[in-house]
Amino acid sequence: MDSRLSGRIAVITGASSGLGKATAIRFANSGARVICADLKSAGVEDEINSQHGKDRATFIQCNVTEESQIEGLIKQSAEWGGRVDIICNYAGIAAETAHGIAQGTAPKCHDFPTEDFDRTMMINCRGVWLCCKYALKQMLEQEPREANARGERTRGWIINAASILGLVGLANTPAYSTSKHAVVGMTKQMAIDYAQDRIHINALCPGFVKSPMIQHYTDDPEIEAVLAARHPWNALGRAEDIADAALFLASDEAAWISGHSLVIDGAYTCQ
C-alpha cells in the first residue's frame, strides 16, 4: 500500500482481466479511485471495494469500437469521480493468436484476412485514439491538480498500451505489429501537442506477458518455454510487472516524462 495516487480518478479500459485488472488493483492500492471499463464486468471493482471500502471503484461498460460509448465512459467517469486524472488504454486484441502465431503458422500480409486487420486497427489503434481524444477534452476543461515537486500543476496522465512489437518487428504479426507501432507514434505526437497543458502522455511496451491474451499458449508448457526463451531473462512477464510500470508513469515521480515508450521486456529488445 502507498499513497502516490491518493485522490486521483483513474479510468482503465480492458480492466476485467490481464494487465488492466492488475493495474486497476495496483492503482487502488496506491490511493486512486478507479473506473473499471470493459465489455463486461469480471468483478474487479467488487474486489477493490471489498478491500478499500465502498466507492473506491466502479464498473462502466464500454466497447472501444463505438465512439459514443467512449464519450459516455469519460462523461460518466467525470460525474462519478468529479474529474478524470488518469486514463490507461489497455483494451486490445491480438488477432494473430487465432492463426497460430506461437507455432509460426500465422499468415503473412498477403494471406492475412483483411477483416482481422481492420478489427485489430479498430480496437488497438482507433480505440486508443478515441479514448485519448475524449480524455484530453475532459482534462483540458477541468482545473489542474495541486502543484508537484517541480511547482507544476498537472492536468492529467495518459498511458497507452503499446508493445515491444511497437518498437521491433516479429514474423507473422502483420496486424498486431502495425497497430502497436501506431500507438507508439500517436503517443509521441500527442505528447508534443499537450505538453504545454501539462498532460503526460506515455506508452507501455511489454514483452510477452503471461495473461489471458496468450493463455492458450501458456497452457502448453512446451510453447510457454519457447516464448520465455525469446527473452534473455528466460521468463515471461507478469501482469503485475506492467502495473508497476504504469504506476510509475501515473505518479509525480514521472513529472518530467512525456512521449516515452517504457519497455518492460526481460531484455527482449536488447538483442
So which residues are the catalytic ones? 176
Which neighbouring-strand residues pair with 12? 36, 88
With contact defined as beta carbons under 8 Å apart, do 21 and 40 qualify?
no
**Closest CA relative to residue 181, chosen from 104, 224, 125:** 125
Q: Is 164 helix (H, G, I), strand (E, B) or coil?
A: helix
Which residue bears the cell 503473412? 108
CB atoms within 10 A of CB 111: 10
C-alpha 109/C-alpha 181 separation (Å) is 16
With contact defined as beta carbons under 8 Å apart, do 175 and 112 qualify?
yes
**Amino acid found at 64:** V
H helix runs in the chain, sequence order: 18-29, 44-52, 67-81, 114-121, 127-141, 176-193, 215-218, 221-229, 239-249
**Closest CA relative to residue 195, chosen from 138, 160, 154:** 154
Angle between helix 67-81 and helix 127-141 axes, rounded to 10 deg: 40
**Amino acid found at 15:** A
